[in-house]
Amino acid sequence: MSQELILNQRVVLASRPQGSPTPENFRLEREALPDVQDGQVQLRTLYLSLDPYMRGRMSDAPSYAPPVEIDAVMEGGAVSVVEQSRNPAFKEGDLVVGQTGWQTHSLSDGKNLMQVPKDLPSPSMAVGVLGMPGITGYMGLMNIGQPKSGETLVVAAASGAVGSVVGQVAKLHGLRVVGIAGGIDKCRYVMDELGFDACIDHKSEHFAEQLSEACPSGIDIYFELVGGKVFEAVLPLLNQHARIPLCGLIAQYNAQRLPDGPNYLPLLMRTLLTKRAKIQGFIVYEEYYHRLEEFMQAMVPLVKDGKVKFREDVVEGLEHAPDAFIGMLEGKNFGKLVVKVS
């Protein structure tokens, strides 16, 4: 069968960042997409998800996943449409989600693709509230956080993809929910739209005092996405048997060396000991993806009924992905950041 020549546009890693990434660390390329082979599908990317973990893949420091190689396509999850299929599990027009990278087209053997329900209001939800960030928030909260009615939960990046799910689901379980976000607009959204009990601006001069006032009964669950100064303000407020699910540290991803002292490590350890508290790191792909169905059964009705709301920050065009990503690491996005690719 003769195939039409497809020009694939892709963003590759040009160099590894020192500190904050810059546009020079990325390069936009065009290449002819190879022909589809037996067993493969040809995909056209609709929505590329931009997520903080990608900063880790740009570095070659040891981590839970290997880094992106220099000159290789940046890693990323995306929703795509099947344009050609030589794999019996997929047909033309199917919507799928997978780690297909920062590019307009891709080929896949189908092994790590998941079908996306066609009745979603927007397919982009499959990389947001009903995708990796949603599963991360829901599973980390329910399994490590173990929320109990009447407790207090704090989550930072509260207007973002993970934080908004964590807070709203905790609220549905009867917790007092305090968000942390950057700026008045985000805080207002978190309280007025997402229904959190309070939201504190981490840029405020009196952040630590305000957080303490918003948590009159202390903190039982701190869902950790950011690290840095926020965590230092949370520490003295932790209650006995506090639980800290840990799945992100965006505030420290660009750090090139350990911060100056004092050394807070002994204070953390003392707090964990005297409060009998728990911190547990997790990576959603490995820990919880086999429980995707459980997640979807719980979350799809909540989203459809408007009990879990979400906000997307949509950037148009793959060529803008690097700038959008760099901005996200500085907290410039407002809601789940996705790139509308085609």
Interacting residue ranges for a copy of itself, rule: CB under 8 A: 56, 62-64, 224, 227-228, 231-232, 240, 246-249, 252, 255, 257-270, 272-283, 286-287
- What's the Cα-to-Cα distance from 230 to each of 154, 179, 250, rounded to whole Å? 10, 11, 11
Residue 130: closest CA among 81, 165, 82: 165
Q: How many CB atoms lie within 10 A of CB 89?
A: 13
CB of 106 to a copy of itself, least distance (A): 27
| HSE-CB for 284 with a 13 A CA cutoff | 20
Q: Is 294 exposed, middle or buried (0-12, 13-18, 19+ CB in 10 A)?
A: middle
CB of 250 to a copy of itself, least distance (A): 11
Name which of 227 and 327 has its Cβ closer to a copy of itself: 227
CB of 271 to a copy of itself, least distance (A): 8
Name which of 7 and 255 has its Cβ closer to a copy of itself: 255
Name which of 96 and 249 has its Cβ closer to a copy of itself: 249
CB of 340 to a copy of itself, least distance (A): 30
CB of 232 to a copy of itself, least distance (A): 8
Name which of 31 and 64 has its Cβ closer to a copy of itself: 64
Name which of 1 and 265 has its Cβ closer to a copy of itself: 265
Name which of 62 and 88 has its Cβ closer to a copy of itself: 62
CB of 282 to a copy of itself, least distance (A): 5
Backbone angles phi, psi at 115, to 5 degrees: -70, 140
CB of 202 to a copy of itself, least distance (A): 16
Name which of 110 and 163 has its Cβ closer to a copy of itself: 163
CB of 21 to a copy of itself, least distance (A): 18
d(CA 252, CA 180): 16
CB of 102 to a copy of itself, least distance (A): 22
d(CA 72, CA 70): 5
- What's the Cα-to-Cα distance from 302 to each of 153, 165, 309, rounded to whole Å? 20, 10, 9
- What's the Cα-to-Cα distance from 292 to each of 2, 234, 298, 330, rounded to whole Å? 38, 31, 10, 30
Name which of 121 and 262 has its Cβ closer to a copy of itself: 262
CA Rg value for the chain:
21
Greatest alpha-carbon pair distance for the chain in Å reads: 70
**Which segments of 67-217 does DSSP mark as H helices, in order?**
132-139, 161-172, 184-192, 207-214
Q: Strand pairing of 7-13 and 26-32?
A: antiparallel
Name which of 34 and 264 has its Cβ closer to a copy of itself: 264
**Which segments of the chain does DSSP mark as H helices, in order?**
53-57, 132-139, 161-172, 184-192, 207-214, 228-234, 265-274, 284-288, 292-304, 321-329
Residue type, 214: A
